[in-house]
């Protein structure tokens, strides 16, 4: 700082973290940067806690020459103090503030932590938040979860932070269910007013969607009429509408509600039961192989699509029966079958509709 032809090394002198009985010192320099000599006098302080010791007693300072002064501070009790170091330069006066502060903690915490968007798959998301102590004395913090959320774990909730250090607090979030989390945690910092820590997250369902080639959601594939011993193909688009990679498989739902396997739906229930032979196997016994998928499993990256080919292979209840008479030819039958596209690792139960499920209908 240059004032009145004099260059000062300090605009103010500050002592931080003072304790009773300790001696604190700071040296300031004053250099004549003018073209002529300067009369410089450093006056003593008014406060007894501060003392100024000047090494060069000469009042006249030649151009380019500098003098130094040592500022000392010592107190018998914990208290903040302030004074001024007054320097006269010819007819000008310069005041250098002298400040002393006792040791205190200065705790600060990050105001917000955001987990972003994640899939509800019961995985544990972990982030860390900093509690920093910019002071000269240890300080304690306390984080209070007023709603006691079972899926949110804070470690540690309370700790001492040493001066000029930081404490990492681990926030763990278990993605047990889809939700929008916007929680305000109460934070108590020693020596400061209470503040808050905001925890945000958008947990979405692990969603597989079955689409047609125009991008519309598809809940049924109709194969139409075909013959025993032949195959009929159709294709669907499997879409991962979630922000995480999904491992998926196809599962045939043999016992799904509404399934019909080889039934003439034009007949009444009594007629269907009356026409069924005693030795005829139950429909579930021969559902295997009626519907095949290619591929039947795979990996879908976030918001990616893949094409799945479905093959309908109708067959009689007993494919090894040899039909010699016309009345032994298999009758007209209808099928309503269900295939589920299951996302592995989903926190939903196996039969919930969070995964893609599609009905296949065909007639024979």
Domain's final residue, options 102, 137, 154: 102
Q: Could you give the C-alpha distances from 164 to 138, 147, 218, 298, in angstroms and in order?
A: 9, 32, 60, 52
Query: Coil, helix or strand for 11?
Result: coil
Query: Coil, helix or strand for 318?
Result: coil
What pLDDT, in 10s, does the model give residues 310-337?
A: 988 876 555 445 444 555 666 677 778 8
The count of domains in the chain is 3
Q: Are residues 146 and 289 in the same domain?
A: no
CATH of the domain at 241: 2.60.40.10
Place of tokens 């300790």: 22
Q: Are residues 166 and 299 in the same domain?
A: no
Q: Are residues 158 and 59 in the same domain?
A: no
Q: Are residues 43 and 152 in the same domain?
A: no
Q: Is the pLDDT of residue 272 over 90?
A: no
* Mean pLDDT on 251-264: 65
Which residue range(s) make up the domain with 194?
107-204
Q: Are residues 159 and 56 in the same domain?
A: no
Asked if residues 212 and 236 have their Cβ atoms less than 8 Å apart, the reply is yes
What is the DSSP pairing of strand 246-252 with strand 297-300?
A: antiparallel
Q: Are residues 93 and 126 in the same domain?
A: no
Asked if residues 186 and 194 have their Cβ atoms less than 8 Å apart, the reply is yes
Q: Are residues 182 and 83 in the same domain?
A: no
Domain's final residue, options 183, 204, 225: 204
DSSP, res 180: E
Q: Is the pLDDT of residue 345 over 80?
A: no
Q: Are residues 14 and 69 in the same domain?
A: yes
Q: Are residues 197 and 212 in the same domain?
A: no
Domain's final residue, options 145, 178, 204: 204
Asked if residues 119 and 243 have their Cβ atoms less than 8 Å apart, the reply is yes
Q: Are residues 40 and 95 in the same domain?
A: yes
* Mean pLDDT on 334-341: 82
* Mean pLDDT on 279-284: 50
Asked if residues 217 and 354 have their Cβ atoms less than 8 Å apart, the reply is no
Q: Are residues 166 and 213 in the same domain?
A: no
Q: Are residues 228 and 326 in the same domain?
A: yes
* Mean pLDDT on 13-36: 89
Look up the pTM and report it: 0.59
DSSP, res 331: P
What pLDDT, in 10s, does the model give residues 195-245?
A: 999 999 999 887 888 999 998 988 888 888 887 778 888 899 999 988 888
């Amino acid at each position: 700082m240059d004032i009145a032809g004099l260059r000062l090394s300090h605009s103010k002198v500050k002592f931080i973290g003072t304790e009773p009985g300790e001696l604190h010192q700071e040296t300031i320099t004053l250099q004549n940067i003018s073209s002529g000599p300067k009369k410089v006098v450093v006056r003593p302080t008014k406060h007894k806690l501060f003392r100024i010791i000047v090494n060069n007693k000469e009042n006249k300072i030649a151009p380019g020459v500098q003098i130094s002064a040592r500022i000392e501070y010592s107190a018998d009790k914990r208290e903040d103090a302030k004074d001024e170091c007054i320097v006269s330069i010819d007819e000008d006066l310069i005041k250098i503030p002298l400040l002393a502060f006792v040791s205190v903690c200065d705790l600060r915490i990050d105001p917000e932590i955001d987990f972003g968007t994640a899939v509800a798959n019961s995985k544990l998301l972990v982030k860390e938040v900093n509690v920093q102590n910019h002071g000269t004395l240890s300080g304690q913090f306390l984080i209070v979860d007023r709603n006691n959320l079972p899926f949110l774990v804070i470690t540690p909730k309370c700790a001492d932070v040493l001066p000029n250090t930081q404490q990492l607090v681990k926030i763990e979030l278990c993605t047990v269910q889809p939700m929008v989390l916007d929680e305000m945690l109460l934070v108590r910092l020693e020596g400061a007013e209470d503040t808050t820590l905001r925890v945000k997250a958008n947990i979405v369902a692990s969603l597989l969607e079955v689409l047609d080639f125009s991008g519309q959601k598809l809940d049924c594939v109709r194969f139409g009429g075909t013959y025993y011993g032949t195959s009929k193909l159709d294709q669907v688009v499997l879409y991962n509408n979630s922000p995480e990679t999904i491992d998926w498989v196809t599962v045939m739902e043999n016992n799904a509600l509404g399934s019909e396997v080889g039934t003439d739906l034009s007949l009444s229930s009594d007629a269907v039961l009356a026409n069924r032979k005693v030795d005829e196997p139950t429909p579930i016994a021969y559902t295997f192989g009626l519907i095949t998928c290619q591929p039947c499993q795979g990996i879908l990256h976030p918001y990616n699509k893949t094409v799945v080919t479905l093959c309908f292979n109708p067959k009689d209840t007993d494919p090894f029966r040899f039909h010699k008479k016309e009345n032994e030819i298999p009758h007209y039958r209808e099928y309503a079958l269900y295939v589920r596209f299951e996302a592995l690792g989903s926190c939903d139960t196996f039969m919930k509709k969070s995964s893609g499920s599609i009905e296949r209908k065909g007639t024979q």
